[in-house]
Amino acid sequence: MYTNEEINSIVGTIHEQLTATTTLAVRWSWGISKQKATIYEGMPTLALKVSGALHKGWVYIAYDGAADLYNIYTLSDKGEVRHKVEGVYFPDMGAVIDGIIERDPSATDEEYLEVAMADSNRKLSA
């Protein structure tokens, strides 16, 4: 069991590592509107409410202390797990998250631009 102080410290580290390894422009493209420290699957977790081109809902970045790695989950607003990626090293966190919520890694630049523009137009007209 973690104390609130331990949870906040670990989640602070997750946030620092994500910020250090992911550009501001990429993080902005995720449309982060909320963030909180929590426990998920028994692990200290940074939860981000996002509105990306591919995923809208929550991203949970959970620290697996036994492995010293991260597990990344995307959840719908109703709490349904949509993606789960286990064993992520911190330098890869941002790319993994971006590939799930904003830009499919297999997409060409033209395909991504089309998806991103449609998402931006949807957001602007809402």
Q: Give me the domains of the chain, ranges plus CATH numbers.
A: 4-125 (3.30.920)
In the predicted model, what is the mean pLDDT of residues 96-115?
A: 88
6 pLDDT above the threshold of 80: yes
pLDDT of residue 112: 82
pLDDT over 70, % of the chain: 100
**pLDDT exceeds cutoff 80 at 126:** no
Q: Is 50 helix (H, G, I), strand (E, B) or coil?
A: strand
20-24, 27-31, 99-103, 122-126: least confidently modelled range: 122-126
pLDDT beyond 90 at 9: yes
Residue 36: strand pairing partners: 47
Residue 20 has a pLDDT of 96
Span 92-100, mean pLDDT?
A: 96
When pLDDT is averaged across residues 108-117 and rounded to a whole number, the result is: 84
What pLDDT was estimated at residue 2?
93
- Nearest-angstrom CA–CA distance, 48 and 39: 13
Query: For the whole prediction, is pTM greater than 0.85?
Result: yes
